[in-house]
Amino acid sequence: MDLKAQLEDRNLKWNWDKIADYLVLNPALLPDLLEFMFNGEPHQQKNAAAVFGKICDQDKSLINPFLIPLAQHLRTNPVDASKRSIIRLFQFCEIPEEVEGELFDQIIDYLKSSEEAIAIKAFGMTVARRICQKYPELTVELIPRIEVLVEEKVSAGIVNRGRKELKKLQKLLT
């Protein structure tokens, strides 16, 4: 498979599935996918990000070696598709201790921003709550951010996710 050509193709689910299926069978090519996600053309970045999500859905263990660079990539303010896919991954994958603080701070910034996409905020709430499960003292920083989003009723998805995460966070305080 010509990975570059496939990533330049349309950003459609069947294309992402095809690439992911191939890479699950050829995991030695995953660093190439990461390179396209970090340094490719915007269209390649979007498709590569989606493919990482599909690979995670199939076999989370294949993603583990890339979790630290993926978390660090958020500092570069990547395209929204990359942010969304990276944050989504951390809902399901183990969060490496080396990036927990950095990832939590980045998500708080996303939750504060009026510019960030709904999915980034929704996925971010879950990831930040997962970090709070390990460090309950952080809940006092996260709860107010989520409460603001729920009160503002930014979207039905944010309100729904926010209420669910707030219930879980309240249990951490007791």
pLDDT tens digits, 71-109: 999 999 888 989 999 999 999 999 999 999 999 999 999
**pLDDT(13) > 90:** no
pLDDT tens, residue by residue, 128-151: 999 999 999 999 999 999 999 999
Q: Between 11 and 127, where is the model more confident? A: 127
Whether residue 174 is predicted with pLDDT greater than 80 in this model: the reply is: no
72 and 123 fall within a common domain = no
pLDDT, the chain, mean: 93
Tell me, what's the pLDDT at 109?
A: 96
Structure confidence at residue 154 as a pLDDT band (50, 70, 90): confident
Compute the distance between CA of residue 27 and CA of residue 148 in angstroms, rounded to an integer: 42
Residues 73 and 108 in one domain: no
- Banded model confidence at residue 9, pLDDT cuts 50, 70, 90: confident
Q: Is 77 left (phi over 0), alpha (psi -120 to 50) or beta?
A: left
pLDDT tens digits along 49-64: 999 999 999 999 999 9
Residue 153 pLDDT: 87
Instruction: Show which of 94, 128, 147 is a domain's final residue.
Output: 94
Does residue 14 carry a pLDDT above 80? Answer: yes
- Burial 160-174, CB ≥16 within 10 A → b, else e: ebbeebbeebeebee
Domain that holds residue 52: 1-94
| pLDDT attached to residue 12 | 83
Specify whether 13 is located in the same domain as 53: yes
Q: Are residues 136 and 77 in the same domain?
A: no
**What is residue 39's predicted lDDT score, i.e. its pLDDT?**
92
**Domain-ending residue, one of 46, 61, 94:** 94
Where is the domain boundary, 94, 109, 134? 94
Handedness of CA 93, 149, 118, 33 (dihedral sign): negative
Answer yes or no: do 56 and 105 share one domain. no
Residues 67 and 108 in one domain: no
* Residue indicated by tokens 């990482």: 52
Confidence of residue 15 (pLDDT cuts 50, 70, 90): confident
Do residues 125 and 170 both lie within one domain?
Answer: yes
pLDDT of residue 5: 87
Residue percentage of the chain with pLDDT more than 90: 81
Do residues 74 and 113 both lie within one domain? no
